[in-house]
Structure 1
Amino acid sequence: MVLQPGALLILGVVVGTHGLRGDLKVRGCARDASLLSRIRQLVFLRDDQRVLECVRRKSDWHKGQLLVSLSGLDSIDAVQHLVGCEVAVHSEDVPAAPAGEYYWFQLKGLAARDRRLGDIGRLDDIFTTPAHEIYVIRGAYGEVLVPAVAAFLVEVDLEKRYVLFDLPEGLVEEE
């Protein structure tokens, strides 16, 4: 997926406050949630409506959640209304991914194809194990879990919106 200029990319949700100085606890909604700690301009949305747009002053990871403090909002009373809001960033603020790497928002929803089997479904989710990430593909073969390793990943074509895999025999149950 190529983001359109002016588009918003939702990366998290405010799940609470932390302390009395106006820090927000943000739970990432996507594998790309780390962008929230690198992009300064944040947009807070509730029911797809902008509640607030402001500059991130600082952020720190704490127990799997991002603690965010915002410029000009330095008390719990000033940020309480943001609890429950989605946190988004402007597409033009997202840095380019390093060569050969992709953000999850670019991969999610792409057609998944295998060299041998052809169309196997859509890239629907991703999760992390101690060894590597796992792509979750849902489609004609049910749910297929594919290790996100170079040995199985042949090609990503964002323009044509597909991912080509070379899956090992037995990973997909054929009828």
Structure 2
Amino acid sequence: MKFFEIGEIVKSHGLKGRMKAKSYVENGEDLSSVHEAMIVKGKEEPRGYKVRKIVLHKTYFFLELETIDTVESADSLVGSTVLIPEDDRAALSGDEYYWRDLMGLQVVTEEGRFLGRIESIFPTGSNDVYVCAGGSREILLPAISDVILKIDLDKKEMVVRLLPGL
């Protein structure tokens, strides 16, 4: 089974083992289907836990795990990475992608000119913006169909059309 990182535990929250974690998932991603998690602290072996509850809130999430029911046991996991099974990701429509799948994609123009790689993504009111860096300059690419022509996750490539001003 494949797992992916969704965050890092930053502190305990309350007295009953609840934890607050910095989120690596985009705001609004549905985590309600998550039933198990792997917790990795430093170079220790990953440990599996049943998830009682996970609630995403802006740039962090609250996590409740079975067997973690005291502030001391929660504090012992501070600094740990939280991973969940790939199968627990919510299904997306054909033209939607998880941010983590876009990170690092090579960006080329429709003529084949290399522009860089997706370094980060940030939401705006109407669409996300992809930050492409590593080429001759940093380019901000709005995630709209006029600019993003094709995304090929197998080839790890994004084909774009640069509009005037980009």
After TM superposition, the score normalised by the length of structure 1 is 0.83
Report deviation, 1:92.
3.6
Higher helix share: 1
Structure-1 residue corresponding to 2:50? 55
Residue 119 of structure 1: aligned partner: 114
* In structure 2, C-alpha distance between the alignment counterparts of 1:47 and 1:89, rounded to whole Å: 17
Out of 87, 94, 101, the position equivalent to 2:96 is: 101
Structure 2 vs 1, CA of residues 63 and 152 (structure 1 numbering), >3 Å: closer, same or farther? Answer: closer
Q: Indicate the larger mover: 69-78 or 104-113.
A: 69-78
Aligned 8 A contact 1:136 1:143 in 2: yes
Query: Paired residue for 1:140?
Result: 135
CA distance in 2, matches of 1:110, 1:60: 29
Match of 1:86 in 2: 81
Secondary structure at the aligned position of 2:45 is classed as strand
* TM-score, L = length of structure 2: 0.87
Does 1:130 pair with 2:125? Answer: yes
Q: Give the unaligned 5+ runs of structure 2.
A: none
Shift of the 150–9 alpha-carbon distance from structure 1 to 2, 3 Å rule, reads same
> Conserved in 2, the CA contact under 8 Å of 1:137 and 1:146?
yes
Q: How many residues align?
A: 166
Cα deviation 1:86-142 (Å, max 9, x = unaligned): 111123433443221111121111110112562111111111223321101012222
Q: Secondary structure at the match of 2:132?
A: strand
The yes-or-no answer on 1:73 pairing with 2:68 is: yes
Is the 8 Å Cα contact of residues 27 and 56 (structure 2) preserved in structure 1? Answer: no
Structure 1: any 5+ residue segments left out of the alignment? 1-5
Displacement after TM superposition at 1:73 (Å): 2.1
Deviation at 1:61, TM superposition (A): 3.8
8 A Cα contact 1:11 1:32, kept in partner: no
Contact 1:12 1:33 in 2 (8 A): no
Aligned equivalents of 1:18 and 1:40: distance in 2?
20
Q: What's the counterpart of residue 45 of structure 1? A: 40
Q: Secondary structure at the match of 2:29?
A: helix
- For residues 75 and 124 of structure 2, the distance between their equivalents in structure 1, rounded to whole angstroms, comes to 35
- Cα RMSD of the aligned pairs, angstroms, is 2.2
Tell me how far apart the structure 2 counterparts of residues 14 and 51 of structure 1 sit (CA, whole Å).
Answer: 14
SS across alignment from 2:144:
coil
| Residue identity (%) | 28
Aligned residue for 1:34, secondary structure, equals coil
- Quote how far apart the aligned CAs of 1:36 are: 4.5
Which shifted more, 116-125 or 141-150?
116-125
